[in-house]
Amino acid sequence: MDLKNGVRPLAIMLSRKTTGAIQPDGDTRQMLRPGYATNADSLTMAAHVVAVEFATVAAANYWRD
């Protein structure tokens, strides 16, 4: 699986699903988005969520029997 067509889109999808699970109300997410969309720290933290979510799944798959 390459980065462009497999791993990265999967990591982004996982983080989006996690965000949706944490804040299931779409209207609230849309209301909050302008506040973090222009904040470099918030965008960095969002990227961190992608990395942690994917690393968690990858680690679980690695250790599975």
**Per-residue pLDDT at 46:** 78
As a whole number, mean pLDDT of residues 1-14 equals 70
pLDDT by residue (tens digit) across 9-59?
877 787 788 778 888 898 998 898 888 788 888 878 877 887 887 788 778
**Per-residue pLDDT at 27:** 93
The answer on pLDDT for 63 being more than 80 is no
The gap between the terminal CA atoms of the chain, to the nearest Å, is 21
Dump the DSSP string for 5-31: IIIHHHHHHHHHHHHHHHS--HHHHHH
**Per-residue pLDDT at 13:** 82
Residue 65 CA to chain centroid, in angstroms?
A: 26
